[in-house]
Amino acid sequence: MVSFNAAFTHIKLHAEDLSPINLRLESSLGYYLAEDVYAPISIPSFRQSAMDGYAIKYGQAEVYEVVGESKAGDFQEYELAGNRAVRILTGARVPDLADTVVIQENIHKTGSEIRIQHMPKPFANVRCIGEQVKAGELIARKGTKIQAMLLGFLAGFGIEEVLVINKPKIAVIVTGNELQAAGTSLRPGGVYETNGITIKTILAEQGFQVERVDYVKDEKSATVLSIKKALEADVVLISGGISAGDYDFVKAGLEENVVEEIFYQVNQKPARPLWFGKKGKTLVFGLPGNPAAMATCMQVYVLPLLRKITSGAEISLNLKRGILDGELRNPSGKALFLAANHHNGLVKVFEKQACNVLGAFAQGNALVFVDESVSMLAYGDPVKYIPISNS
């Protein structure tokens, strides 16, 4: 058995970034950049009108003859000598011989002539080439997550592909003779299966997809074969069957598939029977079968690892600090993870907690962490917690 800190350190040491891949920009949402991105062009790439109005060559005249129009997408030159002007719309190209745009509110128009009622300063309302971004300038750093606004920003440079860190192929194995699918009549001794759908949706909320889910009976040969197939993935998550019971065959199945054990069992509550290992570059978690214990391990170990290998950032629990609304006793000498609610800086732990029921998780938005060295926390004491998906 290892301490929580030792378990987390082991995972950190084996969490290697996935290889980068080129993706079409439109398909890159939620991925992390694998390299810095530099502007291929300036923005704007031409002198651009910032307002609707009239483009002129700055001077002292008040009356100008309108000789044409420039709207977004046009490219036409005009002879502007002799107090000539061009009607221009926002975003349109400013003719080379013009240097100032007079907004339409300061114009009185009669036929093809305009009278300027208020002359702006020279170069007013003209966006210069590269005013926002110059060609060659750094526009997105390596390790940045591609959100909708960044994707749109990069599209404005005509970028078609980006180099991103790949996302993992994830395989899930759910074990147990007692498990039944929803919609079936519950037989004596049976329970409705929740871990498969819970694991998939926890991952989906974080932008990860499961490639395959295999439901396996508590039989050694079936377990060995399922693990063998799953090892083609980057990350394997096995729910249940990792304890030392007569019908727990996951550990034996991992050994038979020559998966290296990094650690087994953690001094924590819930979810002591956690297994972690690897074969080649494939990382494997043997998760507890009890739903709340499984969900704890997903939040504490699996999600931090997945975020690290797909972003290149340091692995982190994302711990926040709050004030405890209540009292906590920890006579066990174990690290505790307790479902709770945080609101306005106060953190309240649910009284009813059970490793086999997701009720507290379903109501809560935090997972309180109490180190194994802490035996008691009183009302008003600082407390650490992991925000979870309901927050």
Verify that 242 and 175 share a domain, yes or no: yes
Give the pLDDT score at 367.
97
Verify that 68 and 194 share a domain, yes or no: no
Give the pLDDT score at 390.
57
Are 52 and 89 a contacting pair, CB within 8 Å? Answer: yes
Give the pLDDT score at 247.
73
- Helix H or strand E encompassing 222: helix 220-230
Query: For residue 84, is it within any domain?
Result: yes
**Residue 360 backbone dihedrals phi, psi, to 5 degrees:** -65, -40
What's the CATH number where 75 sits?
A: 2.170.190.11
**DSSP at 340:** E
Residue 207: left (phi > 0), alpha (psi -120 to 50), or beta? Answer: left
Residue 182: left (phi > 0), alpha (psi -120 to 50), or beta? Answer: beta
Domain that residue 210 falls in: 4-18+167-311
Query: For residue 89, is it within any domain?
Result: yes
**Residue 6 backbone dihedrals phi, psi, to 5 degrees:** -65, -40
Distance CA 288, CA 283 (A): 16
**Residues near 73 by Cβ (< 8 Å), separated by ≥ 6?**
92
pLDDT band at 391 (very low <50, low <70, confident <90, very high): very low
Looking at 127, 157, 176, the residue that finishes a domain is 127
Is the confidence at residue 223, as pLDDT, over 60? yes
Give the pLDDT score at 76.
87
Rounded mean pLDDT of 328-355? 95
pLDDT, tens only, 10-22: 999 999 999 999 9
Query: For residue 217, is it within any domain?
Result: yes
Residue 233: left (phi > 0), alpha (psi -120 to 50), or beta? Answer: beta
Rounded mean pLDDT of 81-110? 94
pLDDT, tens only, 302-312: 999 999 999 99
Is the confidence at residue 336, as pLDDT, over 60? yes
Query: For residue 132, is it within any domain?
Result: no
Q: Residue 380 half-sphere exposure, CB side, CA atoms within 13 Å?
A: 0
Verify that 176 and 200 share a domain, yes or no: yes
**Residue 214 backbone dihedrals phi, psi, to 5 degrees:** -120, 125
Is the confidence at residue 47, as pLDDT, over 50? yes
Are 62 and 115 a contacting pair, CB within 8 Å? Answer: yes
Provide, rounded to the nearest whole percent, the portion of the chain with pLDDT above 70: 99
What is the number of domains present in the chain?
Answer: 4
**Residues near 125 by Cβ (< 8 Å), separated by ≥ 6?**
49, 50, 51, 53, 100, 101, 102, 103
Is the confidence at residue 356, as pLDDT, over 50? yes
Neighbour tally for 355: CB within 10 Å: 18
| Site of tokens 């980068």 | 20
Verify that 35 and 63 share a domain, yes or no: no
Alpha carbon 10 to its chain's center = 24
Provide, rounded to the nearest whole percent, the portion of the chain with pLDDT above 90: 88
Query: For residue 273, is it within any domain?
Result: yes
pLDDT band at 169 (very low <50, low <70, confident <90, very high): very high
pTM: 0.87
Verify that 203 and 141 share a domain, yes or no: no
Query: For residue 171, is it within any domain?
Result: yes
Rounded mean pLDDT of 120-125? 96
Is the confidence at residue 298, as pLDDT, over 60? yes
Query: For residue 78, is it within any domain?
Result: yes
Verify that 29 and 157 share a domain, yes or no: yes
Verify that 160 and 264 share a domain, yes or no: no
Across 259-294, b (16+ Cβ under 10 Å) vs e yields beebbbbbbbbbbbbbbbbbeeebbbbbbbbbbbbb
Across 339-349, b (16+ Cβ under 10 Å) vs e yields bbbbeeeebbb
pLDDT band at 239 (very low <50, low <70, confident <90, very high): very high
Rounded mean pLDDT of 176-203? 91
Verify that 201 and 336 share a domain, yes or no: no
Q: What is the mean pLDDT of the chain?
A: 95
**Residue 73 backbone dihedrals phi, psi, to 5 degrees:** 95, -15
Verify that 76 and 171 share a domain, yes or no: no
Q: What is the largest CA-CA distance in the chain?
A: 98
Looking at 278, 311, 344, the residue that finishes a domain is 311
Verify that 289 and 343 share a domain, yes or no: no
Please give the C-alpha separations between residue 164 and each of 37, 59, 138, 314, 322, in angstroms, as whole numbers.
11, 52, 16, 17, 35
| Site of tokens 């080379």 | 96
What's the CATH number where 356 sits?
A: 2.40.340.10
Verify that 305 and 333 share a domain, yes or no: no
Verify that 93 and 206 share a domain, yes or no: no
Looking at 127, 154, 184, the residue that finishes a domain is 127
Please give the C-alpha separations between residue 321 and each of 20, 175, 329, 347, in angstroms, as whole numbers.
35, 36, 18, 9
